[in-house]
């Protein structure tokens, strides 16, 4: 009887330990994943902070020296950038802010490919929807292609989000049309652009001559006209 009693006690202890283990795993697993995400904030330093400061300085948000030290001026500049680009203005440079700045987060694989459910696809689709809704389908794809072409040009950010959220780069991000109800053709056009179709002929600029007030844009060499847009190099 004593042996059976001991076995029951042992079994009960094992059961309690197993329940505790799995409960702890469920509770702390999200935290474990979270701490693996690289972010930069007040007190951080290094090459990534230098990149952040350089981008912010080039775009007029940061007035201090590019020293690779995340101080108070950098913190305020990050908050200003986040506020003006629809991001959480917490002064912490995480994945979303890095993407908007056009900086690759070293915590993410550089070999990631575009997919039908990717954030790039939907963001590009919203940009196309806001900029070229109602244009010929070829013209919608061409607008998407301009974004892709800019990611490959050293004068622009190297990511889709970075190009789209570059201050003043697209009317749709300024007037809020990027948030308009999305049409299926915009999603299709974004997918075609991401898959390599470039009806713009390599353009990195486009504009609507009936709406543009910029004299400078008229100086850009014309590649082609599609619908209401002129595509330029």
pLDDT tens-digit series, residues 11-47: 555 554 544 444 443 333 333 333 345 789 998 887 7
pLDDT tens-digit series, residues 70-115: 999 999 999 998 888 778 999 999 888 887 777 765 544 333 344 4
pLDDT value, residue 5: 53
CATH 3.50.50.60 fits 119-232, yes or no: no
Q: How far apart are CA 146 and CA 194, in angstroms?
A: 11
SS3 176: coil
Chain-centre distance of CA 26, in angstroms? 30
Nearest to 193 by CA among 101, 99, 114: 114
Q: How far apart are CA 165 and CA 84, in angstroms?
A: 9
- In the numeric block, the tokens 């308009």 are attached to 180
Q: Residue ranges of the domains in the chain?
A: 1-36, 47-101, 119-232
Nearest to 220 by CA among 202, 232, 204: 232
SS3 175: helix
What's the pTM value of the predicted model, to 2 decimals?
A: 0.51
Q: Which two tokens stand for residue 183?
A: 């049409």
pLDDT tens-digit series, residues 201-229: 899 999 988 887 788 888 899 999 999 99
pLDDT tens-digit series, residues 169-184: 999 998 899 999 999 9
Nearest to 103 by CA among 63, 47, 149, 60: 47
At CB < 8 A and 24+ separation, what contacts does 196-199 make?
197/141, 197/145, 198/141, 198/142, 198/145, 198/148, 198/149, 199/138, 199/139, 199/141, 199/142, 199/145, 199/226
SS3 10: helix
Q: Are 216 and 196 in contact (CB under 8 A)?
A: no
pLDDT value, residue 32: 36
Fold for the domain defined by 47-101? Muramoyl-pentapeptide Carboxypeptidase; domain 1 (1.10.101)
Q: Which two tokens stand for residue 121?
A: 């696809």
Which residues on neighbouring strands pair with residue 84, listed in sequence order? Answer: none
């Amino acid at each position: 009887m004593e042996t059976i009693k001991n076995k029951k006690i042992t079994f009960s202890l094992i059961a309690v330990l197993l329940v505790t283990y799995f409960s702890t795993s469920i509770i702390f697993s999200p935290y474990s994943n979270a701490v693996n995400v690289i972010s930069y904030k007040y007190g951080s330093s290094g090459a990534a902070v230098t990149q952040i400061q350089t981008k912010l300085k080039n775009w007029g948000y940061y007035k201090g020296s590019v020293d690779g030290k995340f101080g108070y001026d950098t913190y305020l500049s990050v908050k200003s950038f986040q506020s003006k680009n629809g991001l959480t203005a917490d002064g912490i440079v995480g994945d979303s802010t890095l993407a908007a700045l056009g900086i690759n987060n070293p915590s993410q694989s550089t070999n990631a490919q575009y997919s039908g459910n990717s954030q790039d696809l939907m963001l590009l689709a919203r940009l196309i929807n806001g900029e070229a809704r109602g244009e010929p389908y070829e013209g919608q794809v061409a607008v998407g292609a301009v974004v892709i072409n800019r990611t490959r040009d050293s004068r622009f950010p190297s990511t889709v989000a970075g190009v789209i959220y570059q201050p003043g780069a697209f009317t749709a991000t300024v007037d809020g049309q990027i948030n308009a109800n999305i049409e299926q053709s915009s999603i299709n056009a974004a997918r075609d652009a991401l898959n390599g179709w470039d009806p713009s002929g390599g353009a990195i600029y486009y504009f609507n001559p009936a709406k543009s007030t910029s004299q400078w844009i008229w100086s850009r060499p014309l590649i082609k006209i599609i619908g209401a847009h002129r595509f330029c190099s």
